[in-house]
Structure 1
Amino acid sequence: MKHSGIDYEAVFQALPGAVALLTTDLVYADTNEAYVQTSGRTRDQMIGRYLFDVFPDNPNDPAATGRRNLQGSLLRVAATGERDAMALQRYDVECPDRPGRWEERYWSPVNAPVLGPDGRVALLLHRVEEVTELIRARGGRDGGDRTRVLEAELYTRARELQEVNERLRRAHAREREVALSLQAAMLPAPGPLGRRRGAVRYRPAVGSLNVCGDWYDLAELPGGRFGVAVGDVVGHGLAAACIMGQLRSALSAAVRVADGPAAALDALGLYARSVDGAESTTALQTVIDCNSRTVVYSSAGHPPPALLHADGTVEFLDRATDPPLGARLEHVPRVQAEAAFSEGATLVLYTDGLIERRREDIDTGLHRLAECLGRHGRADADTLADTLLAELIPPGGNTDDTALVVIRL
């Protein structure tokens, strides 16, 4: 596309629809000519300025919701990377040549993400279609009064739908808060790991109910060994938090008595068959032996742990990966593998929120993780954990929650 010879700036300006480009801070980056004509503002009055400084709510209408609705939509797109078609909006506009006088205007907005080379949201595309004349029809040969009544009813129904959506949003927010509290109570604080240093982190999803399915666990084992596990339940909210608690506890108990990580996941898989909603859960169990300096591991469909060696190289432990829990009709014993490490190595376990991005191959996320570890691998466990979250999760947050465990070996 870069070498097609097409002048995309000219295409943007020629679009018949009114389109503006905003930064993720909601500052105008560019507008096309149709947007200038529709908005009644010049480009100089908009470019570089905050959206709601240019178009504030009508101060004479205490019930105005245009700014709140539009701001909520744009921030959701920035956080999730998902397109959002808004319901019909009333958003009054101050007359540019008559300050203090506000015109009643109606709009149909669509907001979409523009992704940068790193897969993150770089700009917001804000397209609006003015429907004021439709709502305030002046009549015509087919009966203007009836048209006005129908369109007024359409607007009323749209406002009612917005109110219903707002009530649902508040109810979902309450469920999210309860689920996060429940999950926090069930996830363990990092216990002693001998003289090894470890850090754990949990980062909930932003602007989404897709939270509370991720977990981590650390367990001291006999003979100078300890187990580290992570997992991810399919689902969200209270249901996912409850399933997560059951599976985490079951795996934590199994690894203490099983003969290795594969046997522990075998036991978890059998148990998961009796738990509604546990199917397709991914889990990873490792057993670290500080005496033999080995990591034994087994994975049920989970992203591979990263072993940062003392020389700065990164090895992904991906030689013992089987399907997620409940994916097979018949129970098949799981496989496990072993990796050696030397003093000064670091083991990183995580859930997919750390590396996966929509419309991006998972290898890109793994490469990003390896590159970050290579640059910051000498930091202590807590600093490294914070750095990984800061550099690998988009600035506006992620649409999936993330669990992370960093162990200095």
Structure 2
Amino acid sequence: MSGPVIDYQAVFEALPGAVALLTTELVYVEANEAFLTMAGRTREQVIGRYLFDVFPDNPNDPGATGMRNLYASLRRVAVTGERDTMALQRYDVEYQDRPGVWEERYWSPVNVPVLAPDGSVELLLHRVEEVTELIRARGDRSGSDHASVLEAELYTRARELQELNERLRRAIAREREVALHLQQAMLPAPRPLAHHQAAVRYRPAVGALNVCGDWYDLVDLADGHRTAVAVGDVVGHGLRAAGVMGQLRSALSAASRVADGPAQALEVVGLYSRSVEGAESTTAVSVFIDWNSRTLSYSSAGHPPPALCGPDGTVSFLDQATDPPLGVRPEHVARPQAQTAFTEGSVLVLYTDGLVERRREDIDTGLDRLARSLTRHHASDPDALADGLLADLIPRAGVTDDTALIVVRL
């Protein structure tokens, strides 16, 4: 029996409590009307902005701990995937119509993880109840003694949370540092191609935890007239994703050296990925450049399509040989392969989804943005072109996913 179609956006807006959704980098992506009303902010002042740019600590209160405590709770939820009910918080808010004037406010927050299909924390749901009037009423009835007890309790809780936050911060910093070093060790150092110029770029995601599993590979093949170019993206973040990335990158690099073409290389890696824990649903794309025949042979395992820009600035996407990600099919099936000619002076661009995908935006919008930028910079040398693409396409606040980019002048 089929039930009614549920409009979850309408449900979110209708919630009587104040609720907001943040990325794991603490950027607002949604807030219901109750939250905006309670906070005294408009949607334009909140959505798309960093939490503590919207609600900083009161600079006039040297003992303010609301920002540190809230940060600690949200990071704890992002790390553990478990909800966290915070102790009562004093967190002053600046009047919008009176800059520099702050109102004493008290809050009871609860932070809850919103999980992605792979079980990782994708969003943070921040529900907050204001209890300022209750605190004031109790203070009026009980006098200064009650206020002193409350202040002492708040101070003790704040110190405990501060200590937890510091331990968590150190643990996060250690994991990120190790993962970044692991990625750098496993990604090949850029080196000149025998035939033409190329540039590679790697941009880690913003945030303490989002060290991801993106990789690139660029190698001249033994036959002397072909070059294999590839990028890939492992699902997930942190050390585990970085470790899986290293195994798959090495496997694809080795397979490319002996395979007849990119489809066969991806087939081999797809079979291998079934034995690698955490490799499920990895995406990758491989392109073999034949310099003699001026052709590109390519195959994609669920990855965004490479872009080919001609000398006149016309951009096309290599999207005629796309198959599911690695290790998805229960049985082995030969992967498709397509071929297209290129004109000398063209540019080939491979990238991972951090360059083009944005939350709440259709992928075609990101691809159109890439095509316009590529047309704008296509006459530049590969290094300048790569920098131009990143400048045009990476938001100033950074992205929530790593970005790997290869630019090859054909």
The equivalent residue for 2:358 is 357
The equivalent residue for 2:204 is 204
Paired residues of 1:58 and 1:92 also in contact (CA < 8 A): no
Report the alpha carbon displacement of residue 185 of structure 1 after superposing the two structures with TM: 1.1
Q: Cα gap change, 1:341/1:402 in structure 2, threshold over 3 Å: closer, same or farther? A: same
The percent of aligned pairs where both chains have the same amino acid is 72
Report the alpha carbon displacement of residue 223 of structure 1 after superposing the two structures with TM: 3.2
The equivalent residue for 2:279 is 278
Deviations 1:32-60 (A, max 9, x none): xxxxxxxxxxxxxxxxxx966xx41423x
Report the alpha carbon displacement of residue 140 of structure 1 after superposing the two structures with TM: 9.8
The equivalent residue for 1:17 is 38
Paired residues of 1:88 and 1:155 also in contact (CA < 8 A): no
Q: Secondary structure at the match of 2:308?
A: strand
Paired residues of 2:69 and 2:165 also in contact (CA < 8 A): no
Amino acid in the other structure paired with 2:175: E
1:56 aligned residue (55, 59, 69): 59
Paired residues of 1:135 and 1:152 also in contact (CA < 8 A): no
Q: Cα gap change, 1:93/1:262 in structure 2, threshold over 3 Å: closer, same or farther? A: closer
Report the alpha carbon displacement of residue 162 of structure 1 after superposing the two structures with TM: 6.0
The equivalent residue for 1:254 is 255
Tell which deviates more after alignment, 131-140 or 374-383.
Answer: 131-140
Q: Secondary structure at the match of 1:378?
A: coil
Q: Secondary structure at the match of 1:179?
A: helix
Query: CA-atom RMSD, angstroms?
Result: 4.0
Distance of 1:244 and 1:199 partners within structure 2: 21
Report the alpha carbon displacement of residue 384 of structure 1 after superposing the two structures with TM: 0.9
The equivalent residue for 1:287 is 288
The equivalent residue for 2:347 is 346
Q: Cα gap change, 1:237/1:135 in structure 2, threshold over 3 Å: closer, same or farther? A: same
Paired residues of 1:209 and 1:236 also in contact (CA < 8 A): yes
Deviations 1:105-138 (A, max 9, x none): 5345899xxxxxxxxxxxxxx9997534434652
Q: Cα gap change, 1:160/1:137 in structure 2, threshold over 3 Å: closer, same or farther? A: farther
Instruction: Please identify the structure whose Cα radius of gyration is greater.
Output: 1
Paired residues of 2:89 and 2:154 also in contact (CA < 8 A): no
Distance of 2:267 and 2:50 partners within structure 1: 48
The equivalent residue for 1:37 is none
Deviations 1:311-358 (A, max 9, x none): 211010000010001110001011100111111100000000000000
Deviations 1:12-49 (A, max 9, x none): 9xx853413548599999xxxxxxxxxxxxxxxxxxxx
Q: Secondary structure at the match of 2:408?
A: strand
Paired residues of 1:357 and 1:365 also in contact (CA < 8 A): yes
Amino acid in the other structure paired with 1:370: A
The equivalent residue for 2:121 is none
Q: Cα gap change, 1:149/1:67 in structure 2, threshold over 3 Å: closer, same or farther? A: closer
Report the alpha carbon displacement of residue 309 of structure 1 after superposing the two structures with TM: 0.9
Structure 1, unaligned runs of 5 or more: 1-11, 30-49, 75-83, 95-101, 112-125
Q: Cα gap change, 1:28/1:198 in structure 2, threshold over 3 Å: closer, same or farther? A: closer
Paired residues of 2:72 and 2:168 also in contact (CA < 8 A): no
The equivalent residue for 2:244 is 243
Q: Cα gap change, 1:304/1:25 in structure 2, threshold over 3 Å: closer, same or farther? A: closer
The equivalent residue for 1:138 is 138
Distance of 1:348 and 1:158 partners within structure 2: 50
Q: Within the alignment, does 1:405 sit opposite 2:406 as a pair?
A: yes
Paired residues of 1:18 and 1:128 also in contact (CA < 8 A): no
Distance of 1:134 and 1:156 partners within structure 2: 20
Distance of 2:150 and 2:89 partners within structure 1: 17
Deviations 1:50-78 (A, max 9, x none): 966xx41423x3xx32355679999xxxx
The equivalent residue for 1:263 is 264
Paired residues of 2:69 and 2:158 also in contact (CA < 8 A): no
Distance of 2:248 and 2:392 partners within structure 1: 30
Structure 2, unaligned runs of 5 or more: 1-32, 75-83, 95-101, 112-125
Distance of 2:273 and 2:52 partners within structure 1: 49
Give the TM-score taking structure 1 as reference length: 0.72
Report the alpha carbon displacement of residue 157 of structure 1 after superposing the two structures with TM: 5.4
Aligned pairs, number: 340
Report the alpha carbon displacement of residue 170 of structure 1 after superposing the two structures with TM: 3.0
